[in-house]
A and B are shown apart, each in its own frame.
Chain A
């Protein structure tokens, strides 16, 4: 009977080669050519000034002035070389390190700035650009941390948007009534956690689809805050909705470092809390008992149950904690920036925070950088708008969202969300 067997060739070791991944080389090549041709060859005459200094620096770095065309050509050539390298690596099916897209991105942005600043004799205020980037990232970072704590525990939290808005609202009202911005800072996490209470109540107790309940909650929070805003807050804005601003607390010495010191260490307490939250999560998610159990209930809840971990209790507790984090992020819109509460002032930042979480692969560090990227692209849009560039305003305002779509769609690579996220644990 064995005589009829087909000659299999177990020793041949045919290696099935993956098809060459052309996606990245093509993107790099297009961007490199855009940079070389538009910013270099047919770029704009004139000079661009990169300003590092801001008033009151310990010592000032002189402005860096460069001819727009020269910078465009030089950087363009560099980018074309990098694109060629990426084609070579792809054909050889070699891995491109994560530094490659970063370096490419930075060079491209500098080249773009040199072009945008040229002609109008524009000054690119780097410190302002970076400080703006950080400021715009703060709610995103808090939101992304909230999302990842929830999802690592197995609860999908689409309600980050609502939690940010609720945090912003309660922070503004409490700070205004008590006439102390720090009181608002204490109130904000409570607002975020309250939204989380409703989320977990329906998601854990009644197994409602978590995405649906999250979206509904966002609409609910918009409705409630807008209603209270129109009926109560506008009646007596002096009492209910007066501006309160957390003061900046420059850290001695560190804040005197040129450019970065001013950007990072001359901030209000909310930003410092953010640093602590990110660092603490980075350590505790992966190296503590709390983090181990959190990841276990998010990956394989039944396995956690068999070793005596209370799955649903763990999920609820962590999601409430996450809600409090997002509430803090919301405080940035009002007391953090010294603004009064306005209707729907979170403006979709909660959804961008989710994107940052995914782009950061559910890692605090990764989510931090992703949120900073989004914040930077928004800040870039703002800066360019103010110095006046040939690009239409509307296009510049779209920039962060374009970056988001590309980032989440293509550049995130292969990611694996927590295996049990969104699945209610039913014993």
Chain B
């Protein structure tokens, strides 16, 4: 199978065979072409070459409807659920049971949901609104959706990206159950631990090509190097922190969104000079809002933020930048850069009106270019010219531009949200090194990350957020299981007690994760999207 977007070959003559009743893992970095391939298989894209055979019969899909009819179901990385629909409506959509006049037979739809839900103990209320369900439950709705159409092959695209470790365990047991009932599963991921836990066979993809089969018995290091194509460094090199005074303090911070939901709930913490505080948690538990409130994009309802003894209450974003806060936003492409602007202009977005870049009303083009070239050297940014639009750069190089801007000043506080999301291995290593260098220069750093591997790689201390609250602030030596429990809302002391009870098991797991942690981080974070979207643009 081959798929080409413009001049970019997303899938280059890929062959893949799925046996009935097996769990087949498709392992690869971000942008390796895993999602593209599955979207072709599901009929969302047309293949530019090759065939799809089901039971040796060639099939031709003109749309997802055909794929579904052929028994293929897909759970997308970003759920394909309408937030304002009920569960029953979501499952019915496209295959609606109807009465006369095209009116919905909602009782029938409800029955179907209840039936499948009870078969797998999903515990889903067919009348609940999708937007009110937690992510794990939404995923189960997606699985119900696929099963309600008698899917024989179920494609799960990065299903664990949005789940807590405990929810991931539940998903794995659901997958086993499905397998027992004869469903084949294609499991797309870049997380090595999960692959080893569940897969029957593994196919590794790199840059649109199959680079080999692997057995689930391979070590994570072997898998990682196969996926990346070279030996990967497994640990982020970092000396112990040498923390100084707590110059940044947050007290009783409460933030409320437009709909009056409390998104940051009575949060208090300190960050000391020369340490990295990682804010861990499942996406959507208030981390984004916390970071945006610190930089001043959002006004808190209650609470204070203090930097170097001065309260930031009421200070504008500009004041806060002036006070020495560096901020790397979560969504690089919309909040971190201005895509149409030149690279050099993107480097001075926060200081464009100051000496030496500006004089009076004028920008000093020569200085800006000279400074930009210096930064390009320093941050190893691969580009044609500094006057090219930043949209011509890869994600990793764009992020380096953002970092060069935010770290280019004397900082009193550095905040980065998801600093390596969607980046390739080399860029991730580079970003981590720069963050640690900034820490060592004495700046208090806050890293918001949903990737536990990144959290372990960078953190000196870890604050876990759940439902807007900081569940606890713990040391970087806390076990993965304890963090997982905290990410599900269990208070720190209980989580620690619960996991030390089974200490031999978790010690073992800890050793394994320490070894593999950075490999998986290095191997890339959550989204395949950056590649897919840019590919779509070229198309």
Cβ contacts under 8 Å, A13 to chain B: 266
Cβ contacts under 8 Å, A309 to chain B: 93-94
Cβ contacts under 8 Å, B106 to chain A: 287
A46 to nearest B CB, angstroms? 49
- With A303-B81, A306-B64 given, is the CB distance from A16 to B262 under 8 Å? yes
Tell me which of B65, B82, B268, B461 has the highest count of chain A C-beta atoms within 10 A of its own C-beta.
B82
- What 0/1 pattern do residues 1 to 43 of A give for CB contact below 8 A with B? 1101111111011111010000000000000000000000000
| Complex Cα–Cα for A9 and B265 (A) | 11
Q: Is the CB of B64 within 8 A of A299?
A: no
Per DSSP, chain A at the interface is loop
Q: Is the CB of B473 within 8 A of A8?
A: yes
| Complex Cα–Cα for A12 and B265 (A) | 10
Q: Is the CB of A289 within 8 A of B476?
A: no
Q: Check A277 for interface membership: any CB of B closer than 8 A.
A: no
Q: Is the CB of A306 within 8 A of B74?
A: yes
- What 0/1 pattern do residues 254 to 283 of B give for CB contact below 8 A with A? 101001101001111110100000000000
Nearest opposing residue in chain A for B261, CB measure: A16
Q: Is the CB of B302 within 8 A of A14?
A: yes
B116 to nearest A CB, angstroms? 16
Cβ contacts under 8 Å, B256 to chain A: 16, 18
- What 0/1 pattern do residues 83 to 104 of B give for CB contact below 8 A with A? 1110001001111101001111
Cβ contacts under 8 Å, A289 to chain B: 96, 98, 102-104
Cβ contacts under 8 Å, A284 to chain B: 102-103
A213 to nearest B CB, angstroms? 23
Q: Check A92 for interface membership: any CB of B closer than 8 A.
A: no
- What 0/1 pattern do residues 300 to 318 of B give for CB contact below 8 A with A? 0110000000000000000
Q: Is the CB of B266 within 8 A of A5?
A: no
Q: Is the CB of B269 within 8 A of A6?
A: yes
Cβ contacts under 8 Å, A300 to chain B: 80-83
The interface stretch among B209-217, B435-443, B464-472 is: B464-472
A423 to nearest B CB, angstroms? 14
Q: Is the CB of A2 within 8 A of B473?
A: yes
| Complex Cα–Cα for A419 and B474 (A) | 40
Q: Which of A290-349 contact B (CB under 8 A)?
A: 290, 292-293, 295-296, 299-300, 302-310
| Complex Cα–Cα for A15 and B256 (A) | 11
Q: Check B76 for interface membership: any CB of A closer than 8 A.
A: yes
A24 to nearest B CB, angstroms? 16
Cβ contacts under 8 Å, B42 to chain A: 306
Nearest opposing residue in chain B for A420, CB measure: B82
Nearest opposing residue in chain A for B241, CB measure: A1
Q: Check A288 for interface membership: any CB of B closer than 8 A.
A: yes
4 additional contacts, CB 8 Å, given A6-B473, A16-B301, A416-B84? A9-B268, A287-B106, A292-B89, A300-B83
Residues on B lying within 8 angstroms of A by beta carbon are 42, 44, 63-66, 68, 74, 76, 79-85, 89, 92-96, 98, 101-104, 106, 145, 243, 252, 254, 256, 259-260, 262, 265-270, 272, 301-302, 460-461, 469-477, 491, 536
For the complex of A and B, list the 7 residue pairs with the smallest distance between their C-beta atoms, beginning with the closest: A308-B65, A307-B94, A1-B475, A303-B80, A5-B473, A289-B96, A16-B254
Q: List 24 A-B contacts (CB under 8 A).
A: A1-B460, A2-B473, A4-B272, A8-B269, A8-B473, A14-B252, A14-B265, A18-B260, A284-B102, A287-B104, A288-B102, A289-B104, A292-B104, A295-B85, A299-B84, A303-B81, A303-B93, A305-B44, A306-B80, A307-B80, A307-B93, A307-B145, A308-B65, A308-B68
